Chain A
């Protein structure tokens, strides 16, 4: 049973960054702007928040106020993401440039900038920014002691819990509310479906697209931090393609928040299973084949593709996404 708890907890840990970032992408695309720059935004968010965590770890303040420091790091990640995403908004909303071009440029800029900046801060060749271990939420955080033999529930909750996990779930709830239950959500969606119609009833399309891209920047940045804490070996100027997976999860989730949640869990579960093949007896171990771990690493992608092929018939992107809005056109 403990194995299942471990798998579940690892799957949730990896689903969280996917969920946050895919929700970010959804905000942007629902407003009509394709945000292919999520990968770059994640890197920038992770870069600045990890630099922040590193500095408070060195000063000693962070360890005494661990969760407050983590919360501030999340804010730093979100702010850095917003600022970086604004570069995309300026290019693709105000200047009406091609959205994939601007996004690709930002994706290319981020990892290079992360390496250059971490060299400048930590010294030549020092690419890895270490993350302090005290950011993990444990039983001690709530004032009671961890038992020597954790049960199912304890292993599930406390094996790898970070502040990003509850925050991601709050973000999910807020997103559902915001998109479907508020005036803001309706207006945002209208800008992604038919901006001319939205404009004709007095909605400022440019403003909503800026907000959409801005929110995607914030969530992308936080997702970058969530990924780095999940990966667990410090920040190495990369998020290993998670920004692109998040894009896939968003499409897989059909641009709907709850479905995105399901898609993120599904993808993460298959991603984690491969790491636990040894402890799951019912999985074949392909003993005759060399480097068989590649089969399991391939699994989440193959399964996602199969599911997509069967479910995509009705899939529909926001109608006006990718087209810069120009007041003059009809």
Chain B
């Protein structure tokens, strides 16, 4: 048993876990220092809210889970593209288009929830396919296409919604109808989770997201297709030489990444508690997929935890208001990501500390034996 424990402690995985924990710790300390600088008298209460609000009531915890589900999806999307060597900065656009498709299917076509989710996935996949196709066939950098199509997506949705009277809420021209009133079957089922946590926010979306994360993990790590995708990401030329079609994989990777982001939009707006309102700015939920993926080092299972963490700390940030700006949470997340950029360095350091102790103990043991 102890041997096994030792093996775990000295593994690379454990070291990277410790490195992440250390980054998070430093980020939180940085946040606390900021609180001290701006309003030292209330800094302890503020920190308390930040750290414990997510667990304070079942309702707050439900909100953590509710926001984590779409974050897992957008995080998976960015991470999946990363694995193929692509930077999917377009998760936001795919998220918006996914939302629109889901609401169109749910409200206008009166589809059940699972069909609306599939529609969301289709919308996101189309929006993801465009940068993929442009990259594969016209050599257009996927970052620039994604950025352009984020805005094109936003304006398209802003154009479509006012022109579809059936999708609108009564008497307004910028908000979609309440699903409860128009098509209750399009709301994601709750399976009693709402009663368990006493919150209308709660539905099975978190379970679905976790399931999808596991599926993505299996695709990436246990299938030939996943192997080819990763090979393309690691060395495009070598994989072409080995007979892998790089173009096909670029397009497929973006299609899947887009589908995941689109599904994130569907999950959020098919909950029955959120109504899509036209905005002129890109929604943060899509952009936050990037930090989620980075914090998880693009690992699909890690994405679940990093999304939960970011959602948790955001709920904490909201609880800090009005004494403090909730943006302090973004600062903390930024610091954590900045530190995770040198995770390799930290990992090396932690490995050295662990191994140094081990070497010392081994030396002591061998000394005892010789005695």
Chain A residues engaging chain B, CB cutoff 8 angstroms: 36, 87, 91-92, 95-98, 100-102, 104-106, 108-109, 111-113, 115-116, 119-120, 124, 240-241, 244-245, 247-248, 251-252, 289-292, 294-295, 297-298, 301-302, 304-305, 308-309, 312-313, 315, 317
Contact = CB atoms under 8 A, between A and B. Distances in A.
Interface string B188-219: 00000000000000000000000000000000
B156 interface: yes
Given A105-B335, A115-B325, A97 B342 contact: yes
Interface in B311-365: 322, 325, 327-331, 333-335, 337-338, 340-342, 344-345
Nearest to A289: B163
Given A105-B334, A105-B338, A248 B147 contact: yes
Contacts of B325: 112, 115-116, 119
Nearest to B135: A312
A119 B143 CA distance: 33
Given A91-B338, A91-B341, A102-B338, A290 B134 contact: no
A92 B325 CA distance: 30
A289 B158 CA distance: 12
B34 interface: yes
Given A113-B327, A305-B149, 14 more contacts: A95-B341, A101-B294, A105-B341, A109-B335, A112-B325, A112-B329, A248-B147, A289-B159, A291-B173, A295-B159, A297-B151, A298-B151, A298-B152, A312-B138
A122 to B, nearest CB: 12
B155 interface: yes
B307 to A, nearest CB: 15
B344 A97 contact: yes
Given A95-B342, A98-B341, A247-B147, A290 B327 contact: no
A271 B190 CA distance: 45
A97 B334 contact: no
A290 B173 contact: yes
8 nearest CB pairs, A to B: A112-B330, A109-B334, A97-B341, A105-B338, A112-B327, A294-B159, A105-B337, A108-B334
Contact of A104 (B282, B337, B344, B345): B337
28 contacts: A36-B143, A96-B344, A97-B344, A101-B340, A105-B291, A108-B291, A108-B330, A108-B333, A108-B334, A109-B335, A111-B330, A112-B327, A116-B38, A116-B325, A241-B151, A244-B147, A247-B147, A251-B141, A251-B144, A289-B159, A290-B163, A291-B173, A295-B155, A301-B149, A304-B148, A308-B134, A308-B145, A312-B139
A108 B344 contact: no
B95 interface: no
Interface string B28-51: 000000100110000000000000
Identify which of B143, B338, B344 gathers the most chain A CB atoms within 10 Å of its CB.
Answer: B338
A120 B38 contact: yes
B15 interface: no
Contacts of B143: 36, 247, 251
A312 B322 CA distance: 49
B291 A317 contact: no
Given A101-B340, A104-B337, A312-B139, A245 B147 contact: yes
A302 B151 CA distance: 10
B347 to A, nearest CB: 12
Contacts of B341: 91-92, 95, 97-98, 101-102, 105
Contacts of A252: 144
B83 to A, nearest CB: 14
B131 to A, nearest CB: 10
A100 B95 CA distance: 21
Contact of B34 (A98, A116, A289, A298): A116
B162 interface: yes
Nearest to A295: B159
Contacts of A98: 341
Contacts of A245: 147
B288 to A, nearest CB: 9
A312 B331 CA distance: 37
B280 to A, nearest CB: 9
B322 A124 contact: yes
B152 A302 contact: yes
Given A291-B163, A298-B155, A313-B138, A115 B147 contact: no
